[in-house]
Amino acid sequence: MSEYFLRQEDLPRFLQSLMAAVPVVGPVAKKNHFVFQKLSSPEELRLDYDVSLLPPKKAIFPQTQRLLDFSPNGPKSCIAPREQVLFGVHFYDIKAIDMLDHLFSENVADQNYLANRHATTIVGSSIQKISDRAFWGSVGKNTQPKGHDAFLTKISGGFHFKALTEKGEKLTSHGQFSKASDAQSKEAKQVNEEILGKCPQRLQHSAEQIAQKVRASFKNEKLWDELAEKCFSCGSCNIACSTCYCFDVQDKWNLDQKSGHRTRTWDACLTEDFAKVSLGAGGATENFREKRSHRFRHRVMRKTAYLNDKLGGPACVGCGRCSEGCVPDIADPVKIINKIMES
Amino acid sequence: MASKEMNENVFMPKEAEILRIEQATPTERRFSLKLRDGATLDYQPGQMLELSLFGYGEIPIGFASSPTRKHGFDVVVRTVGRVSSAINRLEKGQSVWVRGPLGNGFDLKQMRGQDVLIVAGGIGLCPTRSLIQYILDRREEFKRFILFFGAKTPKDHIFPEDIDAWRKSKDVEYHETVDKADPDWKGNVGVITKLFGKTQLSPQTRVVVCGPPIMYKFVMLELEKLHIPPNQIFLDLERRMKCGIGKCGHCQMNEKYVCMDGPVFAYDQIRNLEEAFG
Ligand code: SF4
Ligand code: SF4
Ligand code: FES
């Protein structure tokens, strides 16, 4: 596939044309944060965002998703994907979406996710500002971002646009793209390489070393008690996460009390009831992860060890959203991992 | 990808008619079900399904009958929450919705031609009944068949006719106990592990264990004493489940998923899993 150049001043017209053809979801400013949402004008797009509040996976795997509609006539599937372009995704979030692609297709394929995914064209973008808590430069170095359709890099005078798939290639028909010169392609490559060294936070060990040590520390109760001491089981570290994909399934009635829908909602393994079952009369329950330190441990295991065989690396991409979202500031994987490595 | 396949929804259940209901205990009801479209559910003993009622939700449940019985399939629903309470208010002829079969059942290949012991505690008898019926229906394929059942009280006997039949049957060596007797009870009283004193077991025996979480540790100790190796022991485990297809994360036990890798596990697969036995 080919590499192109788009002048800075031609970006708005490109977006305008694209938005006329298909909904475009991208990073926009909201109060003092950035969020991914459907663009209503090209000017809204903020390619200089550092990190979005919620990860862009929500455009494919929404916080609440209808699975089935039901009525007295029976259930109906709600799979009805809408074409969209997910624009301006940083490489770490591209990695995360690629992980979800794998996890939702392995064994039993879940078309509630996959149909949305297939209808989505992903355009990545280079990182122009770095969030304070980011550590994507040092995490899971063996997994490369893939699965996206094109990648946009800010270079002198405009953007380098690399088309990676047919879908990505087609986007260029919406703008004044010219072939990128060798110098421009070289500059883009350099921009994306250099940024990796600029993260404020770093892991000191390889993914394999971390996976091994963390898994081997499972029974170190004292360590987990210390790490989770201030945790109040709010689940924010899960909800903010780029790679978390646990969900709950619930039925909701419509106002008529005859029809309704079965929906799934993001769930969080840090919350108290996540693994709790009712056993019988009198409210007897069994909570398979009763202690908050055990729930805390489960998240760390999932991010650093449990899924590595399936994914070829850790299920953490270093976005730092969990670190930012945790009120007592104990969810930061860099601090957690460094402490475990020293234990 | 074909468009039909692309739109197939793994959460879409099938409609099943309630053929029969029995109030097994004050909190448990036994349902015989049949798919409305006339199809048979192609399941193995030990597998599960998601049972649901629209507007209330889904609950995971083990098949309580064997696929060798062609009338349909049985499940036992204990009233514990919103969904199960709603289902337990239904009547014969009404519909429930089912999604499955899910997970891995019992490894029948490992059991054929061998002595089989089933240790069932409380409602652990429901999912194991799928295997009990299977063995009784194909009795010649197995050697000795021993069944231990422990209930809280004689009133908690979920399948009284079955139990009556097993007591009399020559096809199964049936031993039972209750934690607490009532005046009519003439049998054993005490924990289920006491039943190990009632019979001789060869180290070749294939063992299936299903019961409340607390039971496993004690039964494993007994089996160790009998020198029955871990790869001959199968545990049918329960966890919270939502999706049943290895995605939602609720059933996870370290890196394993009870809904996909289980609910039946060989003991050697999970004995080093810290979260398997709490
Ligand atoms: S965000 Fe922090 S306090 Fe909340 S569950 Fe996660 S670790 Fe605990
Ligand atoms: S664990 Fe934290 S840093 Fe890692 S992907 Fe999730 S939110 Fe980002
Ligand atoms: S029940 Fe959802 S992963 Fe097992």
ipTM of the assembly? 0.91
Mutate to test the interface with B, among A111, A264, A274 (most CBs of B within 10 A): A111
Assess contact for A313 and A307: CB atoms under 8 A: no
Q: Which pLDDT value is given to residue A119?
A: 96
In this complex, how many residue pairs, one in chain A and one in chain B, have their CB atoms less than 8 Å apart?
124
Contact: A107, B260; criterion CB under 8 Å? yes
Q: Which pLDDT value is given to residue A281?
A: 63
Residue A42, preceding peptide bond in cis (omega within 30° of 0): no
> Using CA atoms, how far apart are residues A249 and B143, in angstroms rounded to an integer?
44
> Using CA atoms, how far apart are residues A124 and A303, in angstroms rounded to an integer?
23
A238 in the same domain as A153: no
Q: Which pLDDT value is given to residue B214?
A: 83
Nearest Cα residue in chain B from A267: B248
Angle at B261 (CA atoms; ends B260, B267), nearest 5 degrees: 150
Q: State which of A177, A198, A219 marks the end of a domain.
A: A198
Residue nearest to atom 3 of ligand 3 (CA): B246
- pTM for the model: 0.93
Domains of chain B (ranges plus CATH)? 14-102 (2.40.30.10), 108-277 (3.40.50.80)
pLDDT in tens, B185-205: 888 988 899 999 899 999 999
> In the predicted model, what is the mean pLDDT of residues B114-118?
96
B253 Cβ below 6 A of ligand 3: no
A166 in the same domain as A253: no
Residue A154, Cβ neighbours under 10 Å: how many? 18
Task: List CB contacts of A283: < 8 A, sequence separation 6 or more.
Answer: none
pLDDT in tens, A102-124: 999 999 999 999 999 999 999 99
Q: Which pLDDT value is given to residue B6?
A: 57
Mutate to test the interface with B, among A61, A65, A82, A110 (most CBs of B within 10 A): A110
> Using CA atoms, how far apart are residues A25 and A131, in angstroms rounded to an integer?
21
Residue to probe by mutation, ligand 3, list B251, B255, B261, B265, most atoms within 8 Å of CB: B251
Q: Which pLDDT value is given to residue B3?
A: 42
- Give me chain A's average pLDDT, please: 95
Q: State which of A139, A169, A198 marks the end of a domain.
A: A198
A274 in the same domain as A157: no
> Using CA atoms, how far apart are residues A92 and A131, in angstroms rounded to an integer?
13
> In the predicted model, what is the mean pLDDT of residues A315-332?
96
> In the predicted model, what is the mean pLDDT of residues B98-109?
94
> In the predicted model, what is the mean pLDDT of residues B161-187?
91
pLDDT at B2 over 50: no
Single-letter amino acid, residue B202: S
Burial class (CB in 10 A: 0-12, 13-18, 19+), A198: exposed
pLDDT in tens, A122-141: 999 999 999 999 999 999 88
Q: Which residue has the higher pLDDT, A143 or A97?
A: A97
B240 Cβ below 6 A of ligand 3: no
A245 in the same domain as A193: no
Q: State which of A198, A215, A237 marks the end of a domain.
A: A198
> Using CA atoms, how far apart are residues B74 and B83, in angstroms rounded to an integer?
18
pLDDT at B4 over 50: no
Q: Which pLDDT value is given to residue B5?
A: 55
pLDDT at A159 over 70: yes
pLDDT in tens, A13-48: 999 999 999 999 999 999 989 999 999 999 999 999
Which of the listed ranges A271-280, A323-332, B72-81, B179-188 does the model predict with the highest average pLDDT?
A: A323-332
> Using CA atoms, how far apart are residues B168 and B175, in angstroms rounded to an integer?
11
Domain around A232: 207-342
